[in-house]
Structure 1
Amino acid sequence: MGTEIEGAEGPGPAVELVRLADAEGNRVSVSVLGRHPAVRNGLAAELVLDTPFVRGRLELSLWRSRLEAWGRALDRLEAGHDITWMGVERGPSLSVRLVGERGCPEVIVVDDLVSMVTVRVPVDLPDDWIVAHRGRLRALMAGWGMSGP
């Protein structure tokens, strides 16, 4: 599903945590690449934005509280609210507006720290996308020993 990486547990494929994509070729994803060498109990990840018009990639660090915040963001989305994930922390933020300018969900990636660029991507998401993302989050946390209290 991605490039091979060397982590604390040995080489393995990247694991996609977030995949907001549609048939038009618009995609925003967050993939975990392995243990982060400089962040204790952290995971190295990347945010990839890919559309027919623009492409970008940002390195991320994830840890348990960020993953739990993604779970709370999914709760808010399911309740019909827009969200911003990682918005008050160092590094990029990812926002989801359920009804964007084109009448479908819109993903907004803001990188104020490094590139100072903001990109808005309309993404026509399937009906079950939140359920699918909950499953991805559970599997990732269980696979990296982060589930439970």
Structure 2
Amino acid sequence: MSDIAPRELIRLADDEGNSVTVDVLGRAPRWSAGLDAEIVVGTPFVSGRIDLVLSTSKLEAWSDALDRLDAGEDVAWMERSRGPSLFIHLTGERDCPEVVVEDESGSMVTVRVPLVPPDDWLADHRQRLHEVMNHWVPMLSA
């Protein structure tokens, strides 16, 4: 196993310059069972970032979301928690996949990013999740 902490949990990007990432920044200083992270949106039109805290249960929920996406379902991740939510629609408003980042509880801003991820993106994201969980979860206390 590498000594370098895995940073990117999610990286959805296309050739048009549209991307949504979720980056793990490290252990949350105010909560021993959490990881500081951020959602970063980048497009030729708009870009931004929002902080969030990830827990083991949120990482497990991302695993469930990947399974549902693989079964052809749209997903909502972190929808019922404080902070931002991330939605993935396999066929969005522009007849292509889209990622929606919503910050209802904070800025009240919603950003919709149409993008076509590579064919192997689900396997790639399962590997990313595996690496993040193997590195970070043993360090977190309940």
**Unmatched 5+ stretches in structure 1:** 1-11
Other-structure match for 1:39:
31
Counterpart-to-counterpart distance in 2, 1:14 and 1:114: 27
- Runs of 4 or more above 2 Å deviation: none
CA distance in 1, matches of 2:9, 2:137: 15
Alignment of 1:97-112 (within 5 A): 97-112=89-104
- Using structure 2 for the length normalisation, give the TM-score: 0.92
Superposed CA offset, 1:94-119 (max 9, x none): 00000112221100010011110011
Identity rate of aligned residues, in percent? 57
When normalised by structure 1's length, the TM-score is: 0.87
Output the amino acid matched with 1:104: C
- Partner residue in 2 for 1:92: 84
> Hey, what does 1:6 align to over in structure 2?
none
2:13 corresponds, among 14, 18, 21, to 21
Amino acid at match of 2:122: I
CA RMSD of aligned residues (A): 1.5
What is the rounded CA distance, in whole Å, between the counterparts of 1:40 and 1:111 in structure 2? 24
Q: Which residue does the alignment assign to 1:5?
A: none
Which structure features the higher share of strand residues? 1
Which residue does the alignment assign to 1:124?
A: 116
Q: Quick one: distance in 2 between partners of 1:93 and 1:39?
A: 20
Q: 2:126 aligned to 134, 144, 148, which one?
A: 134
Counterpart contact for 2:27–2:36, Cα < 8 Å: yes
Q: Is the 8 A contact 1:82 1:97 kept in 2?
A: yes
Q: How does 1:60-71 map to 2 (within 5 A)?
A: 60-71=52-63
AA at the equivalent of 1:83: V
Structure with greater contact order relative to length (CA < 8 Å, sep ≥ 6): 2
**Partners of 1:59 and 1:102 in 2: how far apart?**
28
Count of residues in Structure 1 that have an aligned counterpart in Structure 2: 136
Cα distance, 1:132 vs. partner? Answer: 0.3
Question: Using the alignment, how far apart are the partners of 1:116 and 1:21 within structure 2?
Answer: 24
